Chain A
Amino acid sequence: MNLIFENIIFLSSEIILVLTAVVLLMVGAFKKKNNAKIVVYFSFIVLILLSIMEMLVPWSSVTIFNNSIIQNGYTRFVKIMIYFSSSFAIILSSRWLMKYDDKAFEYPILILFSVLGMSLMVSANDLITLYLAIELQSLPLYVLASFKRNNTESSEAGVKYFVLGALSSSLFLFGASIVYGFSSSVEFGEIYQSLQASEINTALIIGLVFVLSGLIFKISAVPFHMWTPDVYQGSATPVTAFFATAPKLAALCMLINILFGPLSGMSDSWYQIIFFVSMASIALGTFSAIRQTNIKRLLAYSSIAHMGFALIGLLSFPNLDGIQSLLLYMLIYLVTTLGVFSCIISLEITEGESITKIDDFSGISKNYPFTAFTMAMFMFSYAGIPPLGGFFAKYLIFRSAIDNGLIFLSVFGLVLSVVGAFYYIRIVKLMYFDEPKTIVKKSFSKGLSFTNTICLIFIISFIFIITIAPITELTETAAISLAN
């Protein structure tokens, strides 16, 4: 009894998540009036409190439940980011949800369950827990993608996401079973040891490739990126904001967990794969985004490119400075993305429908100077122009890359980031240089302007570089604890 209690205390944030979700489900079901509002704000507050809690608890390293769950500085740091970004994703959608319909209260609950899955994904220390966590994270996402039930595009996005997501899960499962077959264990530590002891043969490499395929699908990197633009476009914009942030981060961190943990003995094999995936994602994401006319498709391709940049951090293996840079990169990417979506959602064509076409941004600086200014800052940050946060993200990731001898990849990435700058500043151009074309209304909600301002302050506060010191310290602590 005592033993279980000692274990459970380390899962307290996950347990709070489950309890909150269940209680809120009850509230939503039994309280007929205003239920969505309560559920939205309550889940927002719970997620914020959880992230603060994760910040305050000691970041010591423990494994619990027979080594199936691990908690350390790295998982804590990633969870803080996941909770924070999901809470903002919920608050972003508040106005849209109130307008939407009476089933709106399900939306934050689905997000909570998905966040629970992500949280377990990051902490998973064996293949079975990992697979269950992935599924727990993905299933609510499929529902969220088709949340606009009477919209065909949204349903299409949901079905597409579900079919492809299921395929990728099965790929992962198949690969995992091969890995299990060779190491005769599902636990990460034992897999690592048995791979160290034995020769690496072709069948094992096939297993690795399948595992990687499943994971790369989740972070939507090339060559498993095709679902991203369609799902982004079809889903409601607040849902897209969620897709673009926390799930990406969780999947990426899970990838790090596996590659730096059990499969680190096969680094020769996965190194090449990640190298290719990173380069191809940067190239494809960058060049495909140029011709997009839909803002969400553009952001989808840009997220593919950003994943490519972030993956460069993995290539510093076995050094951990790349992981540190990657964590900072993802932090800045999350904040910028949430900021961008808060701008997009706050601009509406009709009641409750945010703008979709890039041309709709034309001339908004005339009527909504603050929104235009924040959007411009986020775009410059995406493009990596100093003194905004995006520059530091890019600088650190390429610093670790050059430090580890990846000069060709760095120059390749840097040059393509100039190409990427083109489509980001095109949006700035539309907002500032062009005359208004379509009538765009601005929707006001506390949640939107709150997110907008917080993200803006965060991105710009990098001017006062002071903030970067504690954050790099955190990422450093997190990255180092990965090694233990």
Chain B
Amino acid sequence: MENWNLLSIITFLPLVGVLFILLIPQSSDESSKRNSKSVALWTSLITFLISLLLLIGFDKTDPSFQFVEKIILGNGLMTYQLGIDGFSLIFVILTTFLMPFCILISWDSIKDRVESYMIAFLVLETLIIGTFCSLDIILFYLFFESVLIPMFIIIGVWGGQRKVYSAFKFFLYTLLGSILMLAAIIYLYINTGSTEIEVINDRLNIGLSTQNILWLAFFSSFAVKLPMWPVHTWLPDAHVEAPTAGSVILAAILLKMGGYGFLRFSLPFFPDASLYFAPLIFILSIVAIIYTSLVAFVQTDMKKLIAYSSIAHMGFVTLGIFTFNSQGIQGAVFQMFSHGLISAALFMCIGIVYDRLHTRLIADYGGLVSHMPNFAVFFMLFTMANIALPGTSGFIGEFLIIIATFKVSMLAAILAASGVILSAVYGLFLYKNIIFGQITNEAIEVLKDLNNREKLVLIPLAFFVIFFGLYPSPVINLISSSSENLVDILNLYFNDKLSLELKN
């Protein structure tokens, strides 16, 4: 299967869907809208099915890049090089898996400019998959940064009341973060004479002080994207104002690009600097876990609450990555994967009730259980997964991370574990106020329960949340060789340094 250019096909297949949507004759009646929705849905489904071929052909024991495609373009500007290892594969599958749900969930809720909406999502899918597959640092940057354009349009055109403010904040924040990374990428190119990630890895030889600066430049981009604590403020705004599917993509996939960046670039390129800055990351992560959990508790807006809880969960991810042991890294990747499922499901749940009542304020709800029992069950499941109840996928990641943190720092582990309790506080608070209690809002009396389309969206997500909670090894196996490999590389560096110090 090596010669099929499978990765290119998966990456650019959504663009073929875009072409089909453009070919649909524009008319004001419903048929063209429905056609474009179907085209988008089928394209994303086919992309998902083809991406499953990756799972079949992927050699779990091999930590190097697989399915590699390479075309050298003129003058050493960049190369077109795609390839995946365990980390990339997880995120590619997550993306292609979630995309059909994003299109299904916006089936009825998007009424204005449907064609453009579908085009934006398909373009977004191409760019995200490209980001996770790129083995060339400029190609990576191209995809990574291009995501801003469709996301800006999605938030701004189909967003809520403060959409303009949120779209600008999202755009400028992320652009500022990644522009510094561009400077660092250029420096890496000049230092090594290559833009290929593997070659840079081999050739890169820089002192600690330069490493620190470059590390900070990459950090500025990934920390904004992830987001980490002091630079997280764009996220609640963007989440709240984006349409449901936009929030899903943001929380489930775009945030993961930050974590992926740490794993793919910061750690292997700058091991010394990563070690140097690990305490800083620990502090920021702990603050994120505790502080944003507290902030989440006082929110009156459901989407904002989930957004803050996402930041807290991403705090676990950075904590896990910077423990530098394989448990931590596996935990972090698993946490990102499971958060992708859970946050997607939670935002979809909120979208479902928002489509009915057109309000996101927690105070407007209450007593949904009597009119939407099925919804209450699903929402219960996902809330429990969000607070990492054992038996759900949320538990595995956080558990692994906390164990790994114990090995490094007892205090950090204890504080992080307290974050789990805090997440239970706001999670249960949200659930209680929405599902139980007196019905205060008359509109709730006439609510209909989930329709088939909504069930179709929530059931697979619920299934996988429980499945991976009980049986996480499929995911862990996929990433284990990559993470072992990364840890080996890091240990090699650290041991070298230790032995050097001993010699001196």
Contacts and interface: CB of A to CB of B under 8 A. Distances in A.
A385 B148 contact: yes
Max chain A C-beta neighbours (<10 A), residue from B116, B152, B164: B152
Contact of A469 (B73, B180, B182, B186): B73
Category for how many chain B residues contact A: 35 or more
Given A385-B149, A411-B183, A432-B157, A472 B74 contact: yes
Interface string B171-207: 1100110011011001101100000000000000000
A466 to B, nearest CB: 7
Contacts of A380: 149
B78 interface: yes
Interface stretch (B139-147, B405-413, B449-457): B139-147
A432 B176 CA distance: 23
A238 B152 CA distance: 31
Interface in A366-381: 369, 380
Contacts of A411: 180, 183
Considering residues B80, B142, B156, B163, which has the most beta carbons from chain A within 10 angstroms of its beta carbon?
A: B142
Given A380-B149, A428-B152, A399 B74 contact: no
B172 A422 contact: yes
A126 interface: no
Interface residues of A, number: 35
Question: Lowest 3 CB-CB distances: which A-B pairs, in order?
Answer: A469-B74, A386-B142, A433-B156
A431 to B, nearest CB: 10
18 contacts: A369-B116, A385-B145, A386-B142, A392-B77, A402-B183, A402-B187, A403-B186, A418-B179, A421-B172, A421-B175, A425-B171, A429-B164, A432-B156, A433-B167, A465-B73, A469-B73, A469-B75, A473-B74
Interface of B is mostly: helix
Contacts of B75: 469, 472-473, 476
Contacts of A414: 179-180, 182-183
Interface in B103-136: 116
B122 to A, nearest CB: 15
Interface of B: 73-75, 77-78, 80, 116, 138, 141-143, 145-146, 148-149, 152-153, 156-157, 163-164, 167-168, 171-172, 175-176, 179-180, 182-183, 186-187, 189-190
A425 B164 CA distance: 11
Given A395-B138, A421-B171, 6 more contacts: A385-B175, A428-B153, A429-B167, A432-B156, A433-B167, A469-B75
Given A402-B186, A421-B172, A432-B153, A466 B145 contact: no
A410 interface: yes
A433 B172 contact: no
Contacts of A396: 77
B134 to A, nearest CB: 12
A382 to B, nearest CB: 13
Contacts of B163: 433
Contacts of A469: 73-75, 77
Contacts of A410: 183, 186
A385 B163 CA distance: 21
B78 to A, nearest CB: 7
Contacts of B164: 429, 433
A26 interface: no
A417 interface: yes
B157 A433 contact: yes
A403 B190 contact: yes
